[in-house]
Amino acid sequence: MTASLTRRRIRIINQICWTLALCIVAIPFVFPFLWMVSSGFKSAAEIFGSPSLVPREWQWQNFIDVFKHQPFARQYLNSLYIAVTVTALTLLVSSLAGYALARMRFAGAALVALFLVSALMVPEEVTIIPNFFMMRWAGLVDTHWPLILLPTFGPQGIMATFLMRQYFLALPKELEDAGKMDGLSRLGVWWSIALPMSRPALAAVAIITFLNSWNLFLEPLIFVSSLDKFTLPLALSNFTDPYGMPLWHLQLAATSLAVIPILVVYIIAQRQIIESFALSGVKG
């Protein structure tokens, strides 16, 4: 009786110690967000003037000036519609190819898979220069096309293909066979049987693709040069006045505006999102 009581007590103390330790480790993970939002409400002078997290004077004006400084709403919209387009395209293209690789027999399937895998590990930096010249040739520089095409068909898209393939492989084949018996074509089986069963994989692809596009930096940096075509990551590094002097308070306010919606969605759907990443990582 007493033994179990002390054991329980030790367990609770243990628990508290662990939690405390984890809280301390969590500081550098949480604090930057708090500091970012708080500084977004400060004046330029106060950001470096006082280390307090509570602004002396709440500068709501910052969040209005962000939109006056550059077409921030437009840039926000750009990021959003590009990310949605890339996600939709990737879902379509990768699930088609993933299905073929998982379910269909054809000569050269293994070779194709091997080919595609080789693209997985190659950094965008390697192919960015020729891609730049290709886009130039196609007249697509300073448009959003490169930001849609490159991620969809680049390493990210191929990773999505393999994620889908992996998932299709694990699905029971019987239902699809039954569909075929009913006279469904391959496309019909893919659309009305395989896809509905693959929701978790589709969700994972969607989440990762969306975030990847939303946070993309190198491609926008190189391909986009007009202010009203900027995406968020580019816009964030563009808070200087006409003479090149940094506008810290606006930059931090804008950064808050860019980060918080994603964080809110993340907190609401954290389970789903974290699982998606786990699913994508395991395939290695």
Site for other proteins in 140-199 (CB under 8 A): 141-142, 149-150, 152-154, 157-158, 161, 180, 183-188, 190-192
Indicate the SS3 state at residue 284.
coil
- The residue within the footprint of other proteins, chosen from 173, 217, 261, 272 (CB under 8 A), is 217
Rounded Cα gap, residues 99 and 35, in angstroms: 46
- The residue within the footprint of other proteins, chosen from 129, 169, 170, 178 (CB under 8 A), is 129
Question: Is 201 near other proteins (CB under 8 A)?
Answer: no
Interacting positions 72-91 with other proteins (CB under 8 A) = none
Give the up-direction half-sphere exposure of residue 251: CA atoms within 13 A in the CB hemisphere: 14
Q: Taking the C-alpha atoms of 74, 79, 81 and 86 in order, what is their torsion angle to the nearest 10 degrees?
A: 160
Q: What is the 3-state secondary structure (H, E, C) of 91-105?
A: HHHHHHHHHHHHHCC
Work out how close the CB of 172 gets to other proteins at its nearest, in angstroms, rounded to a whole number: 20
- Total of residues contacting other proteins (CB under 8 A): 120
- The residue within the footprint of other proteins, chosen from 214, 247, 250, 253 (CB under 8 A), is 214
Work out how close the CB of 99 gets to other proteins at its nearest, in angstroms, rounded to a whole number: 6
Question: Is 248 near other proteins (CB under 8 A)?
Answer: yes
Rounded Cα gap, residues 158 and 97, in angstroms: 9
Question: Is 62 near other proteins (CB under 8 A)?
Answer: no
Question: Is 223 near other proteins (CB under 8 A)?
Answer: yes
Instruction: Judge contact between 232 and 213, C-beta under 8 A.
Output: no
- The residue within the footprint of other proteins, chosen from 147, 201, 232, 247 (CB under 8 A), is 232
Work out how close the CB of 44 gets to other proteins at its nearest, in angstroms, rounded to a whole number: 6
- The residue within the footprint of other proteins, chosen from 2, 4, 6, 284 (CB under 8 A), is 284
Distances (CA, A) of 32 to 40, 61, 176, 184, 250: 12, 22, 49, 54, 16
Instruction: Judge contact between 210 and 84, C-beta under 8 A.
Output: yes
Residue 50's φ and ψ, nearest 5 degrees, are: -140, 140
- The residue within the footprint of other proteins, chosen from 84, 127, 145, 175 (CB under 8 A), is 127
Indicate the SS3 state at residue 240.
strand
Residue 126's φ and ψ, nearest 5 degrees, are: -70, -40
- The residue within the footprint of other proteins, chosen from 2, 24, 54, 125 (CB under 8 A), is 125
Question: Is 47 near other proteins (CB under 8 A)?
Answer: yes
Question: Is 242 near other proteins (CB under 8 A)?
Answer: yes
Question: Is 122 near other proteins (CB under 8 A)?
Answer: yes
Instruction: Judge contact between 179 and 192, C-beta under 8 A.
Output: yes
Question: Is 226 near other proteins (CB under 8 A)?
Answer: yes
Question: Is 131 near other proteins (CB under 8 A)?
Answer: yes
Question: Is 237 near other proteins (CB under 8 A)?
Answer: yes
